[in-house]
A and B are shown apart, each in its own frame.
Chain A
Amino acid sequence: MIREIISYLREKTEYKYYFGEANIKNIPCVIYSFSDSLNNGTIRKSRLELNIAVKGLNENSIIKAEEIKNKINSLILTFGDRPLSARILSVEQNGGGLARNEGANTTHQFLYYDIIYKER
Protein backbone atom coordinates (compact mmCIF):
# COMPACT_ATOMS: atom_id res chain seq x y z
CA MET A 1 0.00 0.00 0.00
CA ILE A 2 2.99 2.30 0.61
CA ARG A 3 3.89 1.62 -3.01
CA GLU A 4 0.47 3.00 -3.98
CA ILE A 5 1.34 6.26 -2.23
CA ILE A 6 4.79 6.45 -3.80
CA SER A 7 3.35 5.66 -7.25
CA TYR A 8 0.78 8.40 -6.73
CA LEU A 9 3.51 10.88 -5.75
CA ARG A 10 5.61 9.87 -8.78
CA GLU A 11 2.60 10.47 -11.00
CA LYS A 12 1.67 13.84 -9.49
CA THR A 13 5.12 15.38 -8.92
CA GLU A 14 8.31 15.75 -10.90
CA TYR A 15 10.53 14.59 -8.02
CA LYS A 16 12.54 11.35 -8.00
CA TYR A 17 11.76 8.78 -5.30
CA TYR A 18 14.20 6.13 -4.09
CA PHE A 19 13.75 3.37 -1.55
CA GLY A 20 16.24 3.34 1.32
CA GLU A 21 19.07 5.39 -0.13
CA ALA A 22 20.01 7.56 -3.09
CA ASN A 23 23.12 8.49 -4.97
CA ILE A 24 24.16 12.09 -4.35
CA LYS A 25 24.10 12.62 -8.12
CA ASN A 26 20.32 12.16 -8.07
CA ILE A 27 19.67 14.94 -5.57
CA PRO A 28 17.20 16.66 -5.28
CA CYS A 29 15.14 13.60 -4.54
CA VAL A 30 12.93 11.93 -1.94
CA ILE A 31 14.23 8.85 -0.14
CA TYR A 32 11.56 6.69 1.47
CA SER A 33 11.29 3.77 3.83
CA PHE A 34 8.47 2.29 5.86
CA SER A 35 7.57 -0.15 8.59
CA ASP A 36 4.35 -1.70 9.87
CA SER A 37 3.18 -0.89 13.38
CA LEU A 38 -0.07 -2.89 13.41
CA ASN A 39 -1.85 -5.51 11.35
CA ASN A 40 -4.91 -7.28 12.75
CA GLY A 41 -6.03 -8.77 9.45
CA THR A 42 -8.45 -5.93 8.79
CA ILE A 43 -6.59 -2.74 9.62
CA ARG A 44 -2.96 -2.13 8.85
CA LYS A 45 -1.00 0.81 10.22
CA SER A 46 2.32 1.78 8.74
CA ARG A 47 4.89 4.45 9.34
CA LEU A 48 6.24 6.07 6.20
CA GLU A 49 9.48 7.99 6.44
CA LEU A 50 10.43 10.51 3.77
CA ASN A 51 13.82 12.15 3.51
CA ILE A 52 13.73 15.08 1.12
CA ALA A 53 17.30 15.68 0.03
CA VAL A 54 18.32 18.91 -1.68
CA LYS A 55 21.73 20.32 -2.61
CA GLY A 56 23.38 23.06 -0.57
CA LEU A 57 23.26 24.23 3.01
CA ASN A 58 21.92 27.73 2.64
CA GLU A 59 18.48 29.28 3.10
CA ASN A 60 17.50 28.54 -0.50
CA SER A 61 18.07 24.83 0.17
CA ILE A 62 15.72 24.99 3.14
CA ILE A 63 13.12 26.84 1.07
CA LYS A 64 13.40 24.23 -1.71
CA ALA A 65 13.00 21.38 0.80
CA GLU A 66 10.03 23.17 2.34
CA GLU A 67 8.46 23.59 -1.09
CA ILE A 68 8.76 19.84 -1.80
CA LYS A 69 7.36 19.06 1.66
CA ASN A 70 4.33 21.29 1.11
CA LYS A 71 3.67 19.78 -2.31
CA ILE A 72 3.80 16.23 -0.94
CA ASN A 73 1.61 17.09 2.04
CA SER A 74 -0.98 18.75 -0.19
CA LEU A 75 -1.22 15.51 -2.17
CA ILE A 76 -1.30 12.81 0.48
CA LEU A 77 -2.61 14.21 3.78
CA THR A 78 -6.22 13.22 4.33
CA PHE A 79 -8.86 15.70 5.43
CA GLY A 80 -11.38 14.62 8.06
CA ASP A 81 -12.81 11.19 7.24
CA ARG A 82 -12.16 11.57 3.52
CA PRO A 83 -9.86 8.69 2.46
CA LEU A 84 -6.91 9.06 0.08
CA SER A 85 -8.12 6.07 -1.94
CA ALA A 86 -10.49 3.13 -1.61
CA ARG A 87 -8.01 1.36 0.67
CA ILE A 88 -5.91 4.15 2.19
CA LEU A 89 -8.16 5.58 4.90
CA SER A 90 -5.91 8.06 6.64
CA VAL A 91 -2.53 9.72 6.11
CA GLU A 92 -1.31 11.94 8.91
CA GLN A 93 2.07 13.61 9.34
CA ASN A 94 3.40 12.89 12.77
CA GLY A 95 6.88 14.26 13.20
CA GLY A 96 9.75 15.43 11.11
CA GLY A 97 12.77 17.70 11.17
CA LEU A 98 15.53 19.41 9.28
CA ALA A 99 19.17 18.25 9.09
CA ARG A 100 22.33 19.43 7.36
CA ASN A 101 25.03 17.16 5.98
CA GLU A 102 28.09 19.36 5.65
CA GLY A 103 30.24 16.54 4.26
CA ALA A 104 27.86 15.93 1.36
CA ASN A 105 26.74 19.57 1.15
CA THR A 106 23.08 18.60 1.37
CA THR A 107 20.03 19.64 3.36
CA HIS A 108 17.50 17.02 4.47
CA GLN A 109 13.88 17.52 5.41
CA PHE A 110 12.58 14.45 7.27
CA LEU A 111 8.88 13.69 7.37
CA TYR A 112 7.12 10.90 9.25
CA TYR A 113 3.60 9.77 8.41
CA ASP A 114 1.15 7.45 10.13
CA ILE A 115 -0.90 5.63 7.52
CA ILE A 116 -4.02 3.56 8.13
CA TYR A 117 -5.33 1.32 5.39
CA LYS A 118 -7.48 -1.69 4.77
CA GLU A 119 -5.57 -4.93 4.89
CA ARG A 120 -8.28 -6.72 2.86
Chain B
Amino acid sequence: MDEKTEKVLLGSGHLFIAEITEAGVIPEGLFEEANNVGCISGGAELSYTPTLYDVECDDGEIHNTYITKEEVILKSGILNWDLANLEKLSVGGAYNSANKTLKIGGKKSVKQYAVGFKHEEDDYSVEIAMLGRANKGFTVSFSKEKETITDAEFKANKDSSGTLVTIVEKDAE
Protein backbone atom coordinates (compact mmCIF):
# COMPACT_ATOMS: atom_id res chain seq x y z
CA MET B 1 0.00 0.00 0.00
CA ASP B 2 1.46 3.38 -0.91
CA GLU B 3 2.08 6.12 1.64
CA LYS B 4 -0.93 8.16 0.56
CA THR B 5 -3.47 5.45 1.31
CA GLU B 6 -1.76 4.66 4.62
CA LYS B 7 -2.54 8.06 6.08
CA VAL B 8 -5.08 8.07 8.89
CA LEU B 9 -6.25 11.22 10.59
CA LEU B 10 -6.94 11.03 14.30
CA GLY B 11 -7.43 13.83 16.75
CA SER B 12 -8.87 17.30 16.80
CA GLY B 13 -7.21 20.62 16.02
CA HIS B 14 -7.47 24.38 16.31
CA LEU B 15 -10.23 26.71 15.18
CA PHE B 16 -9.41 30.14 13.77
CA ILE B 17 -11.76 33.03 13.04
CA ALA B 18 -10.48 36.22 11.41
CA GLU B 19 -11.89 39.51 10.24
CA ILE B 20 -12.04 39.92 6.46
CA THR B 21 -9.96 42.80 5.22
CA GLU B 22 -10.71 42.39 1.50
CA ALA B 23 -14.14 41.31 0.31
CA GLY B 24 -14.21 37.76 -1.04
CA VAL B 25 -10.63 36.97 -0.01
CA ILE B 26 -9.42 34.75 2.82
CA PRO B 27 -6.71 36.70 4.67
CA GLU B 28 -3.22 35.21 4.52
CA GLY B 29 -2.84 35.38 8.27
CA LEU B 30 -5.95 33.33 9.05
CA PHE B 31 -3.96 30.60 10.79
CA GLU B 32 -1.97 32.98 12.96
CA GLU B 33 -2.20 32.55 16.73
CA ALA B 34 -4.05 35.86 17.15
CA ASN B 35 -7.03 34.32 15.33
CA ASN B 36 -7.06 31.09 17.36
CA VAL B 37 -10.34 31.04 19.30
CA GLY B 38 -8.75 29.04 22.12
CA CYS B 39 -9.39 25.52 23.25
CA ILE B 40 -12.14 23.66 21.42
CA SER B 41 -14.01 20.58 22.58
CA GLY B 42 -15.80 17.80 20.73
CA GLY B 43 -13.64 18.12 17.63
CA ALA B 44 -14.79 19.72 14.40
CA GLU B 45 -16.92 18.54 11.54
CA LEU B 46 -16.87 19.71 7.93
CA SER B 47 -19.82 18.75 5.77
CA TYR B 48 -20.27 19.29 2.04
CA THR B 49 -23.75 18.74 0.66
CA PRO B 50 -24.37 19.13 -3.06
CA THR B 51 -27.90 19.16 -4.45
CA LEU B 52 -28.05 17.51 -7.88
CA TYR B 53 -30.66 17.64 -10.62
CA ASP B 54 -30.77 14.75 -13.09
CA VAL B 55 -32.18 15.25 -16.60
CA GLU B 56 -33.80 11.88 -17.27
CA CYS B 57 -35.52 10.21 -20.24
CA ASP B 58 -38.77 8.42 -19.65
CA ASP B 59 -36.84 5.14 -19.80
CA GLY B 60 -34.84 6.24 -16.76
CA GLU B 61 -31.58 6.99 -18.57
CA ILE B 62 -29.83 10.05 -17.16
CA HIS B 63 -28.77 12.47 -19.90
CA ASN B 64 -27.12 15.04 -17.76
CA THR B 65 -26.64 16.03 -14.15
CA TYR B 66 -26.44 19.56 -12.88
CA ILE B 67 -25.38 20.93 -9.53
CA THR B 68 -28.18 23.19 -8.38
CA LYS B 69 -26.88 23.97 -4.93
CA GLU B 70 -23.82 23.33 -2.77
CA GLU B 71 -23.57 23.79 0.94
CA VAL B 72 -20.52 23.65 3.19
CA ILE B 73 -20.89 23.74 6.96
CA LEU B 74 -18.12 23.75 9.57
CA LYS B 75 -19.12 22.83 13.11
CA SER B 76 -17.11 22.84 16.29
CA GLY B 77 -17.42 23.68 19.98
CA ILE B 78 -15.50 26.40 21.79
CA LEU B 79 -14.47 25.65 25.37
CA ASN B 80 -12.73 28.93 26.23
CA TRP B 81 -15.20 31.58 27.36
CA ASP B 82 -14.68 34.75 25.35
CA LEU B 83 -17.37 37.30 24.48
CA ALA B 84 -15.40 38.31 21.40
CA ASN B 85 -15.96 34.78 20.09
CA LEU B 86 -19.68 35.00 20.86
CA GLU B 87 -19.86 38.17 18.80
CA LYS B 88 -18.55 36.22 15.81
CA LEU B 89 -21.06 33.44 16.41
CA SER B 90 -24.02 35.83 16.53
CA VAL B 91 -25.14 37.22 13.20
CA GLY B 92 -25.97 40.63 14.64
CA GLY B 93 -23.80 41.03 17.71
CA ALA B 94 -21.62 43.92 18.82
CA TYR B 95 -18.93 43.43 21.45
CA ASN B 96 -17.49 46.39 23.29
CA SER B 97 -14.14 45.34 24.78
CA ALA B 98 -13.90 48.55 26.84
CA ASN B 99 -16.83 47.62 29.06
CA LYS B 100 -16.75 43.87 28.25
CA THR B 101 -20.32 43.90 26.99
CA LEU B 102 -21.88 41.99 24.11
CA LYS B 103 -25.15 43.25 22.70
CA ILE B 104 -27.10 41.02 20.35
CA GLY B 105 -30.06 41.93 18.19
CA GLY B 106 -31.36 44.78 16.14
CA LYS B 107 -28.88 44.61 13.27
CA LYS B 108 -30.04 43.96 9.73
CA SER B 109 -26.75 43.02 8.06
CA VAL B 110 -24.81 39.81 8.55
CA LYS B 111 -21.08 39.97 9.04
CA GLN B 112 -18.81 37.48 7.32
CA TYR B 113 -15.59 36.07 8.71
CA ALA B 114 -12.76 33.93 7.48
CA VAL B 115 -12.93 30.61 9.29
CA GLY B 116 -10.16 28.04 9.48
CA PHE B 117 -9.52 24.70 11.10
CA LYS B 118 -6.07 23.18 11.39
CA HIS B 119 -5.39 19.55 12.21
CA GLU B 120 -1.79 18.56 12.83
CA GLU B 121 -0.13 15.16 12.54
CA ASP B 122 3.54 14.36 13.18
CA ASP B 123 4.75 15.11 9.68
CA TYR B 124 1.94 17.02 8.03
CA SER B 125 -1.10 19.16 8.70
CA VAL B 126 -4.49 19.71 7.11
CA GLU B 127 -5.88 23.23 6.86
CA ILE B 128 -9.50 23.98 6.06
CA ALA B 129 -10.29 27.58 5.14
CA MET B 130 -13.47 29.30 4.06
CA LEU B 131 -15.40 32.52 4.19
CA GLY B 132 -18.55 32.15 6.18
CA ARG B 133 -21.08 33.42 8.57
CA ALA B 134 -22.53 32.08 11.77
CA ASN B 135 -25.28 29.78 10.65
CA LYS B 136 -27.39 28.98 13.67
CA GLY B 137 -26.39 31.42 16.34
CA PHE B 138 -25.34 29.67 19.53
CA THR B 139 -26.54 28.08 22.71
CA VAL B 140 -24.70 28.72 25.95
CA SER B 141 -25.48 26.29 28.74
CA PHE B 142 -24.53 26.86 32.35
CA SER B 143 -24.50 23.59 34.18
CA LYS B 144 -23.26 22.39 37.55
CA GLU B 145 -22.07 19.12 36.02
CA LYS B 146 -20.69 20.07 32.65
CA GLU B 147 -18.37 22.76 31.41
CA THR B 148 -19.83 25.46 29.16
CA ILE B 149 -19.11 24.75 25.53
CA THR B 150 -20.36 27.17 22.90
CA ASP B 151 -21.44 25.46 19.71
CA ALA B 152 -19.97 27.10 16.64
CA GLU B 153 -21.50 26.53 13.23
CA PHE B 154 -20.42 28.40 10.11
CA LYS B 155 -21.94 28.20 6.65
CA ALA B 156 -19.53 28.89 3.82
CA ASN B 157 -20.01 31.68 1.31
CA LYS B 158 -18.19 31.64 -2.02
CA ASP B 159 -14.97 33.60 -2.21
CA SER B 160 -14.11 35.86 -5.15
CA SER B 161 -13.07 32.82 -7.22
CA GLY B 162 -16.29 30.94 -6.50
CA THR B 163 -14.69 28.51 -4.08
CA LEU B 164 -16.68 27.50 -1.03
CA VAL B 165 -13.98 25.79 0.97
CA THR B 166 -10.29 25.09 0.53
CA ILE B 167 -8.59 22.06 2.07
CA VAL B 168 -4.80 22.09 1.99
CA GLU B 169 -2.39 19.40 3.12
CA LYS B 170 1.00 20.70 4.20
CA ASP B 171 4.18 18.84 5.06
CA ALA B 172 5.65 19.74 8.43
CA GLU B 173 8.30 22.44 8.23
Contacts and interface: CB of A to CB of B under 8 A. Distances in A.
Q: Chain A contact residues: over half helix, strand or loop, or mixed?
A: loop
B162 interface: no
Given A79-B79, A80-B79, A89 B39 contact: no
A82 interface: yes
A86 B39 contact: no
Interface in A55-96: 79-83, 86-87, 89
A3 interface: no
A81 B12 contact: yes
B122 to A, nearest CB: 6
Contacts of A87: 122
Interface in B8-26: 8, 10-13
Nearest to A82: B39
A83 B8 contact: no
Contacts of B39: 79-82
Nearest to A42: B8
B40 A81 contact: yes
A89 B122 contact: no
Interface string A12-45: 0000000000000000000000000000001100
Contacts of A86: 120-122
A69 to B, nearest CB: 21
B135 interface: no
Interface string B66-81: 0000000000000110
Contact of B43 (A42, A79, A81, A118): A81
A118 B10 contact: yes
Interface string B120-139: 11100000000000000000
Contacts of B85: none
A79 B42 CA distance: 11
Interface of A: 42-43, 79-83, 86-87, 89, 118, 120
23 contacts: A43-B10, A79-B39, A79-B79, A80-B39, A80-B41, A80-B79, A80-B80, A81-B11, A81-B12, A81-B13, A81-B39, A81-B42, A81-B43, A82-B39, A83-B11, A83-B12, A86-B121, A86-B122, A89-B10, A89-B11, A118-B10, A118-B11, A120-B8
